[in-house]
Amino acid sequence: MAPGEETSVFEGLKAQRLVAAFLAGWLLLNLPLLALWDRDASVAGLPLLPLMLFVIWGALIAAVAWIVERDED
């Protein structure tokens, strides 16, 4: 980078994907969508709401890891 040259924080496809992952996480872990999973149901003996919280959380971690570790060709 040349001296005096400015860089943008959101420059590049990787940064845009990370912002999209943040927004998706924010929406998925927000109350109106979490209320969809608040039922008296269980999957393999586990309550549905905590199970879905961990599934969504794990999927977001996997998505961010995939975005960060991916080579940009």
pTM above 0.85, yes or no: no
Confidence bin at 71 (pLDDT 50/70/90): confident
CA distance 49 to 22: 21
Question: What is the rounded CA–CA span in Å between residue 27 and residue 24?
Answer: 5
Which residue in the block uniquely carries the two structure tokens 């109350």? 31
Q: Give residue 34's Cα distance to chain centre.
A: 15
- The C-alpha atoms of residue 28 and residue 42 are separated, in whole angstroms, by 20
pLDDT, tens digit (0-9, with 9 covering 90-100), for 23-63: 999 999 999 888 988 889 899 999 999 999 999 999 999 99
Strands 46-47 and 42-43: antiparallel
12 band by pLDDT with thresholds 50, 70 and 90? confident
